[in-house]
Amino acid sequence: MESTNEPLMTDNTETTINQETDQTHYDVIIAGAGISGLLVAHRYCLANPDGKVLILEKDSRAGGRLGTVSSDEAADIRGQGFNAITPRLYEFWNQAIKHDPEADDLPSLVSGKQTKTAVLMGNKFSEVDTKNLYSEKGARILGGMAAQRQWKDVQALFDAEDKFDHTFADAWKAPRKSPATMVLETYAQAAGITNIWEASPGAISERSSFHTSEPYTGDWTPALEALTTKFETSGQLTIKTKARIINADHDGDEWHIKTSAGQFFGSRLVIAQAPWTAAQWLAKKLWPTQLLTVVNKTKPVSLVTLSCPVISGDVASLAQMIYVPAEGVQASVSPREIVFQATIDYELSLQAPDVVKAVKRLKRAHKKLLAAAPEIKTGVERVALVPVGWAQTPTLLERKHLDRLDMNKIQDRHLAFCGDAYGQSLNGDDNLIESVISASEAINS
């Protein structure tokens, strides 16, 4: 097993400004080429055949967390982890590309699902159906019979009418180190909940639905291209990569966007970035008050990932998701690569020592998985930091700010927002869909 000495892949890109100005006036400028930005662009181009859309992306490729990264070797193409989407977003995406009768449908491009989950303890894998992860069966494979018997108490909190009204700490009457809660703490890490005790039972239950829905995963590159290629070819859509936004000014009815790749002008701006990212370049006076409160009063959860290309061995024999509880790490397995993921609080991701500790846990988990499946050989490791891995906080104290958020009142013809951070649901894909719809309606009004 080799390890690279390259630094963490953060959002840092070249910031030297090209003084040349793009004289094209765009009808819509979209900040961010993740799936939400691409879906808004797709919907606008369909509704406005003569319109011109520009997408500005700080990274070297489109796709956001679903995109791939290429190393110096052309054949070494890898994801950054956390590239699964729920069946609801999958169907929403499929309906979008089906508007083009010449395009392939999504099932023909990506069809893999996380139907099996395993727990690695020692050198032994114990499997469960993903849909049963937060159930008595899921509790048993990690916590044994004691956790299975106690799980009915956890489920009762999940099903209670007041499950969103109090913290799990206030509702749970048994000891904190009881078998069932130790299982829940392990599984919740993969759902972006670093502290179950400060979250409500309802938040934990709603967030867990992301994984138990059996999300789709795979190489999303062809599906991303299906959203954009037609409009790029016709000249309706331009995607400008390595264009980090430095600031944005709104002068009357026009936006002036200054980036590391030059200056751009447009009538409407859609922010398809997490608000904590956009707050670095969009002046406070331009933010809707509700959203600015979210930025100032809540925080996301970060991910540290380690991806390893599969060189040889039958990974089909492994579950698509593997927990390594001794390290607090999960591994997403695909035929092309294995991606290990550690969840940490956003504040900790800003501190190098805590990120280094997370990387060490990832490397130990990698070593343990290879020891348990010696027939599998992997290549050079790549580490990535995803500052906003899970946007919506499950912490009860912070939820009051999100509960007041009404995206239909925030969206405006000249400034709209989309992505998994914009909405009240703890399932980010639901927020993404609803915000894409409302942002599209706003800029088309």
What local confidence, expressed as pLDDT, does residue 4 receive? Answer: 31
Nearest alpha carbon to residue 391 among 346, 436, 353: 346
Print burial letters for 179-206: b (CB count within 10 Å at least 16), e (below 16). Answer: bbbbbbbbbbbbbbbbebebbbbbbbbb
Same domain, 356 and 414: no
Q: Is residue 12 included in any domain, yes or no?
A: no
What local confidence, expressed as pLDDT, does residue 5 receive? Answer: 31
Task: Pick the last residue of a domain from 212, 239, 261.
Answer: 212
Give the pairing of strands 21-31 and 53-56.
Answer: parallel
CB 80 within 8 A of CB 383: no
Chunk the chain into consecutive blocks of 10 residues (it has 445) and report each block's average pLDDT, rounded to whole numbers: 33 46 88 97 96 95 79 48 88 92 88 94 94 94 95 96 96 94 93 94 94 91 93 96 96 92 96 95 94 92 92 93 95 90 89 94 97 94 89 90 88 96 94 97 94
Q: Is residue 252 included in any domain, yes or no?
A: yes
Same domain, 206 and 120: yes
Q: Is residue 8 included in any domain, yes or no?
A: no
What local confidence, expressed as pLDDT, does residue 74 receive? Answer: 40
Q: Is residue 15 included in any domain, yes or no?
A: no
| CA–CA distance, 131 with 353 (Å, rounded to integer) | 36
Task: Pick the last residue of a domain from 179, 197, 212.
Answer: 212
Same domain, 223 and 100: yes
Residue 134 token pair: 């937060």
Same domain, 160 and 184: yes
Q: Which domain holds residue 414?
A: 21-111+218-298+396-443
Same domain, 126 and 241: no
Q: Is residue 9 included in any domain, yes or no?
A: no
CB 325 within 8 A of CB 142: yes
Supply the pTM of this predicted model: 0.91
Handedness of CA 264, 270, 276, 282 (dihedral sign): positive
Same domain, 120 and 206: yes
Give the pairing of strands 337-345 and 68-70.
Answer: unpaired
What CATH number corresponds to the domain at position 45? 3.50.50.60
What local confidence, expressed as pLDDT, does residue 24 receive? Answer: 84
Please write the tens of the pLDDT for every residue from 237-247. Answer: 999 999 999 99
Q: Is residue 165 included in any domain, yes or no?
A: yes
Domain count for the chain = 3
What local confidence, expressed as pLDDT, does residue 20 receive? Answer: 61
Same domain, 143 and 202: yes
Neighbours of 274 (CB within 10 A): 21
Same domain, 129 and 186: yes
Neighbours of 147 (CB within 10 A): 22
CB 376 within 8 A of CB 313: yes
Q: Is residue 319 included in any domain, yes or no?
A: yes
Same domain, 288 and 156: no
Same domain, 171 and 317: no
Task: Tell me how far CA of residue 435 lies from CA of 38, 127, 348, 408, 412, in angstroms.
Answer: 13, 36, 29, 8, 12
Same domain, 157 and 285: no
Same domain, 346 and 429: no
Please write the tens of the pLDDT for every residue from 261-303. Answer: 999 999 999 999 999 999 999 999 999 999 999 999 999 999 9
Element (H, E) at 212: helix 201-212
Q: Is residue 402 included in any domain, yes or no?
A: yes
Task: Pick the last residue of a domain from 196, 212, 228.
Answer: 212
**How would DSSP label each residue in 118-166?**
EEEETTEEEEEEGGGTTSHHHHHHHHHHHHHHHHHHHHHHHH-TTTTSS
